[in-house]
Chain A
Amino acid sequence: AQTVTQSQPEMSVQEAETVTLSCTYDTSESNYYLFWYKQPPSRQMILVIRQEAYKQQNATENRFSVNFQKAAKSFSLKISDSQLGDTAMYFCAFPSGQAGTALIFGKGTTLSVSS
Chain B
Amino acid sequence: DTGVSQNPRHKITKRGQNVTFRCDPISEHNRLYWYRQTLGQGPEFLTYFQNEAQLEKSRLLSDRFSAERPKGSFSTLEIQRTEQGDSAMYLCASSLYGNEQFFGPGTRLTVL
Are A and B associated in one complex? yes
Q: Is the CB of B44 within 8 A of A44?
A: no
Asked whether any CB of chain A lies closer than 8 Å to the CB of B85, the reply is no
Q: Give chain A residues whose Cβ lies under 8 Å from the Cβ of B99.
A: 99-100
Q: Does B87 contact A (CB under 8 A)?
A: no
- Which residues does chain A contribute within 8 Å of B102, judged by CB atoms? 47
Contacting residue for A100 out of B31, B41, B45, B103, CB 8 A:
B31
Contact indicator A102/B45 (Cβ below 8 Å): yes
The interface residues of chain A lying within 8 Å CB-to-CB of B82 are: none
A8 at the interface (CB under 8 A from B): no
Give the residues in chain B near A99, CB-CB below 8 Å.
97-99
Greatest chain A CB density within 10 A among B33, B56, B101, B104 is at B101
From A11-19, A56-64, A66-74, A103-111, the one touching the partner chain is A103-111
| Contact A45–B31 (Cβ < 8 Å) | no
Q: Mark B54-89, 1 if CB is under 8 A from A, else 0.
A: 001010000000000000000000000000000000
Q: Choose among B45, B95, B105 the residue that contacts A44 (Cβ–Cβ < 8 A).
A: B105
* Structural contact, A108 and B40, CB atoms closer than 8 A: yes
Min CB distance A38 to B, Å, is 11
Complex Cα distance, B105 from A109, in Å, reads 19
Cα A47 to Cα B41 with chains together (Å):
17
With A102-B33, A102-B58 known as contacts, the answer to whether A47 contacts B43 (CB < 8 A) is: no
Cβ-closest chain A residue relative to B108: A42
**Bound complex: CA of A44 vs CA of B43, how far in Å?**
12
Tell me if B91 counts as interface (CB < 8 A to partner A). yes
Q: Across the interface, do B104 and A44 meet the contact criterion of CB distance under 8 Å?
A: yes
Distance of A25 Cα from B103 Cα, bound (Å): 22
Contact call B42/A100, Cβ cutoff below 8 A:
no
- Flag whether B25 is at the interface (Cβ < 8 A): no
- 12 new A-B contacts, CB < 8 A, other than A45-B43, A91-B42, A103-B43, are A91-B43, A93-B42, A95-B98, A96-B45, A98-B98, A99-B97, A100-B97, A100-B98, A102-B58, A103-B45, A105-B42, A108-B42
Please report A residues at the B interface, Cβ cutoff 8 Å: 4, 37, 43-47, 50, 91, 93, 95-96, 98-108
